[in-house]
Structure 1
Amino acid sequence: MSSEWASLTIGDLVREGEAAVQTGPFGSQLHSHDYVASGTPVIPTEAIGRGRILDIEVPRVDAAKASELARHRLRVGDILFARRGAQATGLSAIVDERFEGALCGTGALLLRLHSPRIDPQYLAMFLSSETAYSWLRTRAVGAVMPNLNTAIIQALPVSLPGIHEQQRIAGLIGALDDRITLLRETNATLEAIARALFKSWFVDFDPVRAKMEGRPPEGMDEATAALFPDGFETSELGEVPRGWRVGSVYDISKVVYGAPFASKLFKAAPPGRPLVRIRDLKDERPGVFTEEVHPKGYLLKPGDIAVGMDGEFRAYVWGGETAWLNQRVCVFHPINGASSAFVRLSIAPLLAAVEASETATTVIHLGKNDIDRFRVILPSSTVLHAFRAVAKPVYERLVLNKQKAQTLSTLRDTLLPRLISGQLRLPEAQAALETTP
């Protein structure tokens, strides 16, 4: 390692006046009734991802409350730590231009730099590395609800090369992050396209209404338009296009449930296959492996529609590697001409309704009895196939982009620790980046 490199702690930076660490507002300062529909964003724990603030809806407060909490306002280059929660503790994210002037949430810690010798992007990348992430997770205190505090953050060791080396490392890893972000943004657009088409055809029934009004359906050729009826009839779910019907979710999908793999056989690394638990559905990176081959085991494959059955009920398009499906996770397999997009978008509001109706005080659960009651609109087979012809390539592209993003993320996670330790030089890392499609 070059003599330019320094090993110190966050606390060393604080003592030298090069950084400050503070806890977000106390719960007594910010309550749920303070939140409003529009106003200043408040960054909660669940919005703090690995290295970046996630693109999710966040709470907001009005100008008066924001002024009251002015000391918690964020600046570009600030770094937020998820302070509490078994799933969140250890995560940190840099504040970018999207959240300039937002507020640090009650479940977060704020690190602000005051030093010209530290590049915020580099430090944020260091803090999102497996080394720092694991260090924080293993030191979180609390048996039931793990927590971080300012003392733990200040004890965290960091490796700092010279500022120019920091900037070059940040630039290289940043280029990888930009490619990953572009793929994610493209996927958000693809999902929006499929969702808009589904809503138009199967929720708003736009083609049917257009034909009733004697006008051609928008954005649709004559052959496809001819597949839709020109009137409605009454059903248990209200009016549906004439000739369509309401049926069970089992008319469009087969449901496969995960198996109870033995947790005592879980391992942090191969050999063995990865095992998908509920917590792995969001980032598609299983955290455990197992060599067990369960007699009722199911291998989750890219493109499968997976749903977690505890905590929150979301239908995910799996884009990770083939892996065993653990208990309390299920898969909806399209059948009878339905596409993955049709199944996923049909069950999404049904899952949301179950989640909204659950009144458990701890973790809410989705059961087979809930799924058995799912009722869906069943269009004619010709319309179902027409939707499939449009939606299938969209979802195939979605999965391909997820896999590309996973490859880039793996490369990032391989290069970053070696770069920040000085074990790998930038020209070698650049060469590895250029050979990745």
Structure 2
Amino acid sequence: MRKVPKLRFKEFSDEWEEKKLGDILEFKNGVNASKEQYGKGIKFINVLDILNNDFITYDNIIGKVDIDNNTVEKYSVTYGDILFQRSSETREEVGMANVYLDKKNIATFGGFVIRGKKIGEYIPIFLNKLLKTNLARNEITSKSGGSTRYNVGQETLKDVRLLFPILQEQEKIANFLTNIDKKISLTEKKLELFREYKKGVMQKIFSQELRFKDSNGNDYPEWEEKTLGNYINFLTGYPFNSKKFNEEKRGVPLIRIRNLLDSNISTYYEGEYENKYIIKREDILIGMDGDFNVVKWKNNGALLNQRIVKVFSKNNLELCNTFLYYILEKPIKNINLKTFSTTVKHLSVKDIEKIIVNLPILKEQEKIANFLSDIDNKIENIEKELEGLKEFKKGLLQQMFV
């Protein structure tokens, strides 16, 4: 077995040492309380706290439990302890781990969690990262048992073997990855701020609290109430033959309803098609079933599948196509959808045609569309930056650990 990582800080050269988790952690199952005890008292760590945080502190723990001081002491969680998910419906999530990094406050932990109390020498942030690597996850999940639910126990975790560098190298790796995490967190906050800014600006624009002026500094005419059906056309997606679908990138990418929010297309079509079903960048698409969405497509050259429509302005030059995208989302979300089966709701073209909106003249539409498009471009750039940082971190995790 290779005992050094592919990517390493130059001042370290020693091989990493294999250890069992039982050498550095003492394991215990969590406290079980009656339902009357929950909702008050001391914070207790549950599965969601493990799954939803990069690390756990007292402030970001969701739940509370009312237990006496002796029980708190018996089930205490302090700085550097590791928490594991005991069971899961999927093998991929069983034994997921997280670290407690609060030096001021003691917490406790619930019955679906196993605590690894720190008894050996390790850098807590390093171990948290190590336990999230593919090698560590495979080591844990391969030892899990169960059929309908997968489980890991204390004895299983004790026997998990992983490779550790000396403490100085652990600390160097932990600090480096922590800086990457901080940059990711800042980028996520930046993205959220831009999204909130766009939301607030759109509310002001479409309530006409915020108005644009023409090139001479004069007000544009008042907006007029219009029915969308007089201004828009539709192209309904085609029911392509599923026997000619593949996931091996042979043929033409196919937009399915699941791709509207995630444009990473995985389905390709090898059959014949009409060119009118090829979707281009910035085309406006609406998913017509269930949790439907209005999107401005981001890529070129994909085929439009059934249950999706492309909507576009008629060639009468009274409705800017990009402006159409911005006015569609809210009214469509408010349509009382018709149910065509017991579980799935369906949006019809006639529903969209009946939408009544306030429209400014074309020149003001274009100004609004350009203004909002600039914000969208900034948001898209931040999204790409964030995706790049996460991919960079993923690559580091694969190369900086053994």
**Fold match by TM threshold 0.5:** yes
Alpha-carbon spacing, 1:75–1:59, altered in 2? closer, same or farther (3 Å): closer
Return 5+ residue gaps in structure 1 as ranges.
208-216, 230-241, 422-437
**8 Å Cα contact 1:80-1:111 kept in structure 2:** yes
Q: Please give the alpha-carbon distance, in whole angstroms, between the structure 1 residues aligned to 2:163 and 2:153.
A: 19
User: Per-residue CA shift, 1:206-260, capped at 9, x if unaligned?
Assistant: 52xxxxxxxxx5xx5654983363xxxxxxxxxxxx6123536994986758968
Paired residue secondary structure (2:321) = coil
1:63-102 to structure 2, matched below 5 A, reads 66-68=65-67, 78-79=82-83, 81=85, 83-86=87-90, 89=93, 92-94=97-99
Q: Please give the alpha-carbon distance, in whole angstroms, between the structure 2 residues aligned to 1:393 and 1:30.
A: 53
Aligned twin of 2:369: 388
Aligned residue pair count: 365
Q: Please give the alpha-carbon distance, in whole angstroms, between the structure 2 residues aligned to 1:379 and 1:273.
A: 37
**8 Å Cα contact 2:45-2:107 kept in structure 1:** yes
Match status 1:337 vs 2:340: no
Q: Please give the alpha-carbon distance, in whole angstroms, between the structure 2 residues aligned to 1:140 and 1:273.
A: 41
Aligned twin of 1:7: 18
**8 Å Cα contact 2:83-2:114 kept in structure 1:** yes
Aligned twin of 1:227: 220
TM norm structure 1? 0.59
Aligned twin of 1:192: 196
Alpha-carbon spacing, 1:130–1:388, altered in 2? closer, same or farther (3 Å): farther
**Which among 179, 182, 189 is matched to residue 178 of structure 1?**
182
Alpha-carbon spacing, 1:251–1:303, altered in 2? closer, same or farther (3 Å): closer
**8 Å Cα contact 2:123-2:170 kept in structure 1:** yes
Match status 1:29 vs 2:31: no
**Stretch deviating more after TM superposition (156-165 or 82-91):** 82-91
Q: Please give the alpha-carbon distance, in whole angstroms, between the structure 2 residues aligned to 1:46 and 1:358.
A: 39
Aligned twin of 2:378: 397
**8 Å Cα contact 2:32-2:110 kept in structure 1:** yes
User: Per-residue CA shift, 1:101-139, capped at 9, x if unaligned?
Assistant: 888688x63544414622222222223323344566666
**Which among 146, 159, 162 is matched to residue 163 of structure 2?**
159
Paired residue secondary structure (1:158) = strand
Paired residue secondary structure (1:410) = helix
**8 Å Cα contact 1:76-1:96 kept in structure 2:** yes
- The letter of the residue matching 2:153 is T
Alpha-carbon spacing, 1:42–1:200, altered in 2? closer, same or farther (3 Å): farther
User: Per-residue CA shift, 1:40-75, capped at 9, x if unaligned?
Assistant: 79866498358468xxxx9966xxx53359868876
Q: Please give the alpha-carbon distance, in whole angstroms, between the structure 1 residues aligned to 2:78 and 2:296.
A: 35
**How far 1:183 sits from its partner (Å)?**
2.0
**8 Å Cα contact 1:82-1:92 kept in structure 2:** no
**8 Å Cα contact 2:191-2:379 kept in structure 1:** yes
Q: Please give the alpha-carbon distance, in whole angstroms, between the structure 2 residues aligned to 1:392 and 1:293.
A: 34
**How far 1:150 sits from its partner (Å)?**
3.5
**8 Å Cα contact 2:30-2:113 kept in structure 1:** yes
Aligned twin of 1:117: 121
**How far 1:190 sits from its partner (Å)?**
1.0
Q: Please give the alpha-carbon distance, in whole angstroms, between the structure 1 residues aligned to 2:253 and 2:182.
A: 27
**How far 1:191 sits from its partner (Å)?**
0.7
**How far 1:195 sits from its partner (Å)?**
0.8
Alpha-carbon spacing, 1:265–1:157, altered in 2? closer, same or farther (3 Å): farther
Paired residue secondary structure (2:400) = helix
TM norm structure 2? 0.63
Paired residue secondary structure (1:244) = strand
Q: Please give the alpha-carbon distance, in whole angstroms, between the structure 2 residues aligned to 1:8 and 1:141.
A: 23
Larger RCO (alpha carbons 8 Å, 6+ apart): 2
User: Per-residue CA shift, 1:343-392, capped at 9, x if unaligned?
Assistant: 674268449x769x9997xxx545454x7635463533444333312211
**Overall identity of the aligned pairs, in %:** 11
Aligned twin of 2:173: 169
Aligned twin of 1:247: 228
Return 5+ residue gaps in structure 2 as ranges.
5-13, 314-319
Q: Please give the alpha-carbon distance, in whole angstroms, between the structure 2 residues aligned to 1:302 and 1:7.
A: 53
- The letter of the residue matching 2:66 is S
Computing the radius of gyration from Cα coordinates, the structure with the larger value is 2
**8 Å Cα contact 1:24-1:105 kept in structure 2:** yes
Alpha-carbon spacing, 1:140–1:20, altered in 2? closer, same or farther (3 Å): closer
**How far 1:196 sits from its partner (Å)?**
0.8
1:28-427 to structure 2, matched below 5 A, reads 29=35, 45=48, 48-49=51-52, 51=54, 66-68=65-67, 78-79=82-83, 81=85, 83-86=87-90, 89=93, 92-94=97-99, 109=113, 111-115=115-119, 117-133=121-137, 146-150=149-153, 156-202=160-206, 205-207=207-209, 222-223=213-214, 226-227=219-220, 229=222, 243-247=224-228, 251=232, 266=247, 293=270, 336-339=320-323, 342=326, 345-346=329-330, 349-350=333-334, 365-369=344-348, 373-374=351-352, 375=355, 377-380=357-360, 381-421=362-402
**How far 1:197 sits from its partner (Å)?**
1.4
Aligned twin of 1:425: none
